Amino acid sequence: MKSYLKKILPLEFKLYLKNNKAFISTVILFESLYDGINFVKYSASGVNPSRKSKEMLESEMIFYYHKIEKGMVMPNPRPKFGIKSIEHLIKLLKIYVQKYGVTETANITFKCLNEYVIFNSNLGEEVSSVETEIKKLRQIEWNNEIIAGAKEVEKSEILGINSNFENLAHSRYSLRDFSGENIDIDLVEKAVEIAQKTPSVCNRQSSRVYLYKDKENIKKLLKHQNGNRGFGHLADKLLIITTRMDHFVGSSERNQHLVDGGMYSMSILYALHSLGVGTCPLNLALDNSSSIKLKKDAGIGNGEALLMMIAIGGIPEKTKVAVSNRRHVKEVLKII
């Protein structure tokens, strides 16, 4: 139908439509509505756990076991942290194993749950509800060799980065502990200079980096973010990465700024890492009303999309990081 209309409509009319604000706005709204409908249809939102697909259950389990990993690497970990989430994770694991058996994700989840019990017992705390469930789950045959949870790394390991991209990528961790060292603004400037080499659609370079250095201001801004509890206060500086929407035109480009901004954010993370600066990306998955409030406090215009915050600081001599196991290449690479 669309291609038929394209053929029969006179060029003048097509040009008129192309430049007509009301027409373009309507198309963008419809396209965005379609995105929304698709997201409602295909995302895991509101799906009953017993009806969740393997991929849905796995990503939910990863979400919850990562909470355990993160909780255990905090500078001042809280005993019995996240107990409700952990009970929920056990439920998910049971449903999952019954349906799909003991896969890698199940093994990692079980290992993290075990580590949670050990972590609490080292702090002299009993988590009896979890322990009882773990005891029952021990009857299943797990792979005990798997490494998951928290691990200790030394600064020298993180800094052994240069030479090639493989080493650089493998030595970067999201740090949730910082040394207290002052990060020179020149280093951030250098990182931005490096990140400027990031490809962007038609080289439009819509990404922007906001650097916050005042501690009180950082504290205020971090209150808008939901994933920095227990370590955000240790960051020396805070970055917010945005993309300008006014660099994009038309309905087909409605998501392009997110692609460009995501790529740019990754470059900033690698660039800072290559310069020996510790980083932790912080999600800005916010509803519109919260986004607007954050933008107001951060001095960011409404025409910019918020990509993420990045907490930055010095790398401690020794610290704990979340293992954050990755999926196998064969799960991710589809050769067709």
What is the total count of residues that contact ligand FMN (CB under 6 A)? 15
Residue 148 in the binding site for ligand FMN (CB under 6 A): no
Q: Do residues 92 and 64 lie in contact, with contact meaning Cβ atoms separated by under 8 Å?
A: yes
Strand ranges for the chain from DSSP E: 150-154, 207-212, 237-244, 278-283, 304-313, 318-322
Which of the ranges 104-112, 127-135, 159-167, 281-289 carries the binding residues for ligand FMN, by CB under 6 A?
281-289
Residues 1-60 contacting ligand FMN, CB under 6 A = none
Taking the complex as a whole, how short is the minimal distance between the CB of residue 23 and ligand FMN, in angstroms? 35
Is the alpha carbon torsion for 24, 243, 35, 224 positive or negative?
negative
CA angle at residue 154 from 266 to 111, to 5 degrees? 80
User: What's the CA gap between 25 and 21, in Å, rounded?
Assistant: 6
Contact 225, 212 (CB under 8 A): no
Q: Does 150 bind ligand FMN (CB under 6 A)?
A: no
The residue of the chain with the least Cβ separation from ligand FMN equals: 227
Nearer to ligand FMN, 137 or 309 (CB): 309
What the block records as the tokens of 43 is 């995302």
151 touches ligand FMN (CB under 6 A): no
Q: Is 282 in the site for ligand FMN (CB under 6 A)?
A: yes
When the beta carbons of 116 and 173 are compared against ligand FMN, the nearer one is 173
Check binding of 257 to ligand FMN (CB under 6 A): no
Residue closer to ligand FMN (CB basis): 133 or 314: 314
280 sits near ligand FMN (criterion: CB under 6 A): yes
For residue 14, the SS3 value is helix
Give the chain's radius of gyration (CA, Å).
23
Looking only at residues 88 through 147 of this chain, which bind ligand FMN when binding is defined by CB under 6 A?
none
Residue 173 in the binding site for ligand FMN (CB under 6 A): yes
Decide if residue 67 touches ligand FMN (CB under 6 A).
no
Q: Yes or no: say if 285 and 262 are a contact pair by the CB < 8 Å rule.
A: no
Dihedral angle sign, alpha carbons of residues 35, 38, 44, 48: positive
Per CB under 6 A, 227 contacts ligand FMN: yes
Give the three-state DSSP class for 46.
coil
Cβ proximity to ligand FMN: between 92 and 280 the closer is 280
Q: Residue type for 101, please?
A: G
Residues 285-324 that bind ligand FMN (CB under 6 A): 308, 321-322, 324
Q: Are 282 and 310 in contact (CB under 8 A)?
A: yes
**What is the binding site for ligand FMN (CB under 6 A)?**
66, 70, 173-174, 176, 227-228, 280-283, 308, 321-322, 324
